[in-house]
């Protein structure tokens, strides 16, 4: 599923931070992570097979929507990728997370499959899914040389950063849902780091072997748990802690984080401030 | 070279803004624009041919450098794209401008060609070019399963936004240089729009048929001229004005803009304030 087996001369690298401090903490599956990424990103690279030079893989920038887990596009017959697809429908779509920082540490997913004009039965959902994300493109939808296409996903590759990658089973891909917390995550992290920074060392001390906390910052939250970047005298590590039950929204997140803080204080014998 | 021949029902679209107000104003060639984009962006999509499902174009995220106009990569033998390239070297690299706004209005370039391990004669320039842009990757360069690869460019597709696209001649690609003003452009634009907003309507009135200027903003500058977005009672247009000679740096830019302002004032009979 994942690999870290590079031929490194000597130990130690940025990747050591990736290793979980606690094992068996529930985390989003790769299928869920990939679906979450596709829910928040609407631009990617469409790869088709060029007509000239013949058979070369050809990358072009596209905007897309997602209908039943499959990418849908509004393309012009004049575009290179459309002409390529008219000759050979084999295609893939690469979608990458766009945040600051090392791009190779961020998530990306490649969806492979045959890409073809939406069938009569697909065209309405394709239009709805595409225009929901790209309302400004409605003007093109009426042009005679524009049409909706759909990529029938037959293979899914997910890379979540260094050493975190897999081919996702199609059934898992189809049944996965985007993480419901993702749209709220940035706001929750900012709130916790700005207004509840005093709670974070308590989480670390109560629920992990980490004790002498020099610095800690909440770096991620999803329906199953949350992550902190924790600096101790021996270095910086990522600590993931689980919620007792999956959460569904911001209200749940607050309740879960408050409950964990209460438990942490009880374990540590710290009275509420 | 470019096309705007979409089957539009009726006239008028966002693209009308793309049409130049003055014809024959010198502008960067597509080769120069593409080289400029590649000089400022170091992440792209590498398209290779998948082994399974066989022959499907496969997109993956890569970081790259540029050696003599050709992309160079530092790749792991474990990566899908490397395994693909070991089977079939046909590849392309898509590099897209990343700014706010409609992604389809921004520039992108696709370089197609055979991708292979750097030869003995290429490996030093590949390493230098790659690590100049990605110094943090130096740790990987020593791993036994990482090596430098180079894409031998045989075709170049440039898209500068809606209706501005072409296949670039290889000779033009090889001889083109990045625009020397690009690294300074944002600062120059900010300075002009913030501190010399009063000059912009004078440029418009003196050097174009535009007269009743409601709003004007400088939106681009390069070695051959500069562009403004100009709103009049009849709408918003892009106006490009040429410099009398190509400029090479920020100092030249200031001189050229001051000289044009002086000439504009003289033409309009406006005394310097």
- pLDDT value of residue B271: 83
Calculate the dihedral angle through the C-alpha atoms of A249, A254, A259, A262, rounding to the nearest 10 degrees.
170
- What's the longest Cα–Cα distance across chain B? 72
Could you give the percent of chain B with pLDDT greater than 70?
92
Locate the chain B residue with the closest alpha carbon to A54: B90
Compute the C-alpha angle B175/B177/B180, nearest 5°.
160
- β-bridge pairing B215-222 and A215-222: unpaired
Secondary structure letter of residue B218 according to DSSP: E
ipTM: 0.88
Task: Measure CB to CB from residue B96 to each of A61, A93, A136 and give the nearest one.
Answer: A61
Contact: B92, A145; criterion CB under 8 Å: no
What residues of chain B lie within 8 A of the CB of A7, using their CB?
143-145
What residues of chain A lie within 8 A of the CB of B11, using their CB?
none
| Beta strands in A6-49, from DSSP E residues, in sequence order | 43-49
Tens-digit pLDDT profile for residues B236-272: 999 999 999 999 999 999 999 999 999 999 999 998 7
Q: What would the mean pLDDT of B121-130 be, rounded to a whole number?
A: 98
B44 within 8 A of A78, measured Cβ to Cβ: no
> What does the alpha-carbon distance between residue B183 and residue A29 come to, in Å, rounded to a whole number?
41
What residues of chain A lie within 8 A of the CB of B57, using their CB?
47-49, 57-59, 90-92
Least confident residue range of A16-25, B8-17, B123-132, B231-240 = B8-17
Locate the chain A residue with the closest alpha carbon to B115: A56
Calculate how close chain A gets to B11, using CA atoms only, in Å. Answer: 11
Q: Which domains can be identified in chain A, with CATH numbers?
A: 30-175 (2.30.110.10), 182-268 (3.20.180.10)
Per the model's pLDDT, the better-predicted residue between B174 and B12 turns out to be: B174
What residues of chain B lie within 8 A of the CB of A76, using their CB?
6
Contact: A98, B93; criterion CB under 8 Å: no
Tens-digit pLDDT profile for residues B42-63: 999 999 999 999 999 999 999 9
Contact: B92, A50; criterion CB under 8 Å: yes
Tens-digit pLDDT profile for residues A172-196: 999 999 999 999 999 999 999 999 9
Task: Measure CB to CB from residue B45 to each of A45, A55, A63 and give the nearest one.
Answer: A45
| Beta strands in chain B, from DSSP E residues, in sequence order | 43-49, 57-63, 65-67, 70-76, 90-96, 108-117, 146-159, 165-168, 215-222, 225-232, 235-242
Contact: B3, A90; criterion CB under 8 Å: no
What residues of chain A lie within 8 A of the CB of B48, using their CB?
57
- pLDDT value of residue B273: 63
Calculate how close chain A gets to B47, using CA atoms only, in Å. Answer: 6
Of the residues B6, B9, B47, the best mutation for testing chain A's interface (the one with the most A CB atoms within 10 Å of its CB) is B47
Instruction: State the count of interchain CB pairs (< 8 A) between A and B.
Output: 149
B153 within 8 A of B111, measured Cβ to Cβ: yes
Answer yes or no: is pLDDT of A212 > 80.
yes
Q: What would the mean pLDDT of A152-159 be, rounded to a whole number?
A: 98
Task: Measure CB to CB from residue B63 to each of A57, A90, A104 and give the nearest one.
Answer: A104
Contact: A53, B157; criterion CB under 8 Å: no
Locate the chain A residue with the closest alpha carbon to B143: A8
Q: How crowded is residue B178: how many other Cβ atoms within 10 Å of its Cβ? A: 19
């Amino acid at each position: 599923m994942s690999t870290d087996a590079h031929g490194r001369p000597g130990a130690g690298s940025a990747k050591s931070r990736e290793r979980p401090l606690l094992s068996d903490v529930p985390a989003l599956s790769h299928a869920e992570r990939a679906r979450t990424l596709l829910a928040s990103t609407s631009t990617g690279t469409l790869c088709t097979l060029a007509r000239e030079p013949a058979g070369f893989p050809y990358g072009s920038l596209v905007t897309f929507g997602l209908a039943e887990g499959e990418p849908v596009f509004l393309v012009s017959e004049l575009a290179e990728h459309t002409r390529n697809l008219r000759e050979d429908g084999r295609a893939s779509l690469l979608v990458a997370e766009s945040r600051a920082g090392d791009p190779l540490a961020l998530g990306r997913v490649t969806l492979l499959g045959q890409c073809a004009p939406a069938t009569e039965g697909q065209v309405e959902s394709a239009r709805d899914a595409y225009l929901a994300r790209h309302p400004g493109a409605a003007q093109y939808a009426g042009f005679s040389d524009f049409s909706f296409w759909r990529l029938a996903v037959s293979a899914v590759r997910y890379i979540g950063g260094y050493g975190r990658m897999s081919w996702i089973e199609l059934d898992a891909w189809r049944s996965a849902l985007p993480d419901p917390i993702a749209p709220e995550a940035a706001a929750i992290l900012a709130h916790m780091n700005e207004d509840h920074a005093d709670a974070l060392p308590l989480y670390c001390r109560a629920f992990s072997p980490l004790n002498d906390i020099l610095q800690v910052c909440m770096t991620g939250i999803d329906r199953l748990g949350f992550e902190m970047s924790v600096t101790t005298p021996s270095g910086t590590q990522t600590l993931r802690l689980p919620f007792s039950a999956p959460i569904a929204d911001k209200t749940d997140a607050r309740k879960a984080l408050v409950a964990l803080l209460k438990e942490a204080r009880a374990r540590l014998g710290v009275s509420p401030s």
